[in-house]
């Protein structure tokens, strides 16, 4: 392995750790956002005697954000680089899926409140 390869590997590992340090608290906070949204929806739809798929979407969304947060947390705790990269990919993937699902839930909420 050359010095350039070694430097690249160290920079890559440092970058992965930085990503995990960002994903972990953000995903954890988003679990709280989903829980708050579920509570607000239950109050709003109880008052208007309606049902919607939005609270179910937010519940699933909270679980996917939790998976992102946990995989990011464990990626920071492991010593093995191969596990770090594997857990970091899981954290990235579940975080992106969670953000897309949250956007879908927002559309469902918007259109179910209009009618």
Q: Which of 14, 24, 10 is nearest to 95 (CA)?
A: 24
Q: Please, is 56 exposed, middle or buried when counting C-beta atoms within 10 Å of its C-beta (0-12, 13-18, 19+)?
A: middle
Count of domains in the chain? 1
**pTM (2 decimals)?**
0.70
Domain of residue 18: give its range: 3-114
Give the model confidence (pLDDT) of 13-68 as tens digits: 555 667 667 777 777 778 777 777 777 776 766 666 666 787 888 889 889 989 99
Q: Are 94 and 64 in contact (CB under 8 A)?
A: yes
- pLDDT number for residue 29: 78
Give the model confidence (pLDDT) of 72-104 as tens digits: 888 888 877 777 788 888 988 998 999 899 888
C-alpha distances in Å from residue 66, one per residue of 12, 17, 34, 52: 25, 18, 11, 23
DSSP 115: -
Q: How many Cβ atoms from other residues are within 10 Å of residue 79's Cβ?
A: 6
């Amino acid at each position: 392995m050359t010095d350039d390869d070694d430097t690249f590997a160290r920079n890559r590992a440092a970058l992965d750790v930085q990503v995990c340090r960002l994903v972990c608290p953000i995903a954890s906070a988003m679990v709280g956002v989903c829980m708050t949204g579920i509570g607000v929806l239950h109050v709003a739809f109880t008052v208007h005697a309606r049902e919607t798929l939005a609270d179910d979407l937010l519940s699933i969304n909270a679980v996917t954000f939790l998976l992102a947060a946990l995989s990011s947390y464990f990626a920071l705790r492991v010593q093995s680089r191969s596990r770090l990269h594997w857990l970091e990919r899981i954290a990235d993937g579940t975080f992106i899926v969670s953000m897309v699902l949250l956007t879908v839930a927002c559309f469902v909420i918007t259109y179910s409140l209009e009618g």
